Homo-oligomer: A and B are copies of this chain.
Amino acid sequence: MRAEIVSVGDELLKGQRVNTNAAFISNALSGAGVPVGRVIACADLEDEMVSVLDESLQRADIVLVTGGLGPTRDDRTKQAVQKLLGRGMVLHHEAYQNLAERVKKHGLEMSSLLREQAMVIEGSEVIANTRGSAAGMIIDCGARFHHHFLVLMPGVPSEMRAMMELTVIPYVAAHSGSCIRHTPIKTVGIGESKLAELLVDVEDALPSGTTLAYLPHAAGVNLMISTFGLERDIVDRDNRTVVEAIVERAEQFVYATREVTLEETIGVILAGRGMTIATAESCTGGLVASRLTDVPGSSAYFLQGFVVYSNEAKRHSLGVSQELIATCGAVSQEVAKAMATGVLEKSGADVAISTTGIAGPSGGSSDKPVGMLCLAIAEKSTSQVLSKTFVMSGDREQNKLRFSEAVLRELWQWLRGSAA
């Protein structure tokens, strides 16, 4: 079984709304073992819809349409389907009852405009709308379309989602007869092309039905391993084999094989060991603290953070000596170390991390260019201090993000190493 999604609405073509409906439906179908071939957003013009639906129904076994079922003049989906299939419309009794109750509840009068929402395509199976008034439909499109199915749903996300969950997904799962497994592999500290080089033999030996996708983002790249097939056991086994092979080759860069963030992964380690953390930031300006505290429950291990932009602040808040700053410069591993040990002492935390660098766009020199980061990690129990220097390339916001990713990555590796 193969699906396509058609999203109707001018607002999608003008970029006034992001097509989150299509992502939700794709995800749900994919989870039910039904691959999506194309997603098409088109205008709410009758002829355009007829042409898009005609093509999609030739290619796909099932076409899911959102939008254009409401009561206003720009809602033309049912008209387009009537025209395409050459069918009439009938009033659906239950849908009308649902509508009448809603109309009454909102203190309105039933009008012919509103009544339109309970009119459905002849020969369709009606999808109850538990969140709104427009009825949904599942339609067998007949011999001309090889009995492919059309599913019509409203564009309002909450109404569409309820219909998908209650009616459409169970319907599709019962008809598809296939299954699928997706496993994300979250990495840090390696670029797309380096990772691809590491994995070249895994990619060469992918079992049939399994794909490996690279999902780069601003500060790194994640992978998605998807396996599709008819038998649950084989799908799960093939997927697991590939995931294990990748983790083995890229172990030092993989922080999770499920949907978690790096800061959540760090939080789990800290909470598990009963450790507390504090931060001292210059170039990241509070972003590291903000990321660590994005994690629910982070107040259990995050004690305190200092954002020390000025040299004054580095001295007064963290006890970094004027001499050290004068000798080595504010952006140096020495100052990063002094910041980390300073915050460790001030806060009483078990581990401390620090950043000092040049986010740009100005402030760089040939010695210390824009994009340079010095970071340090200090641990109370061992009195160990690590410091490193990196140079990134990006604008100010990208640099801040990459700086924060680098220090969290080093912290994660440090914590992982100290467990062994």
Contacts and interface: CB of A to CB of B under 8 A. Distances in A.
Interface string A296-337: 111100111111111011001100000000000000000000
Interface stretch (A140-148, A241-249, A265-273, A278-286): A278-286
A313 B304 contact: yes
A357 to B, nearest CB: 12
Size band of the A side of the interface?
A: 35 or more
B43 A30 contact: no
A19 to B, nearest CB: 5
The residue in A102, A309, A361, A398 that gathers the most chain B C-beta atoms within 10 A of its C-beta is: A309
Contact of A398 (B24, B30, B108, B158): B158
Contacts of A346: 316-317
A186 to B, nearest CB: 13
A365 interface: no
Contact of A214 (B40, B70, B348, B396): B70
A197 B293 contact: no
A266 B100 CA distance: 35
Given A10-B211, A15-B26, A22-B41, A307 B285 contact: no
A15 B23 contact: yes
Interface in A217-255: 218, 224, 226
A225 to B, nearest CB: 12
A90 interface: no
A265 to B, nearest CB: 17
A193 B297 contact: no
B293 A307 contact: yes
Contact of A108 (B17, B194, B218, B288): B194
Contact of A193 (B72, B218, B398): B72
Given A16-B27, A113-B196, A196-B72, A43 B39 contact: no
Contacts of A363: 299
B303 A11 contact: no
Contact of A10 (B52, B111, B213, B359): B213
A293 B12 CA distance: 30
Given A13-B37, A14-B226, A307-B279, A362 B297 contact: yes
A213 B72 CA distance: 9
Interface string A53-79: 000000000000000001111100000
Contacts of A12: 22-23, 26, 39
B287 A290 contact: yes
Interface string A176-208: 000000100000000111101100000100000
Contacts of A288: 286
A213 B45 CA distance: 12
Top 8 closest pairs, chain A to chain B, by CB: A15-B27, A285-B293, A286-B289, A305-B307, A15-B26, A286-B286, A304-B313, A286-B290
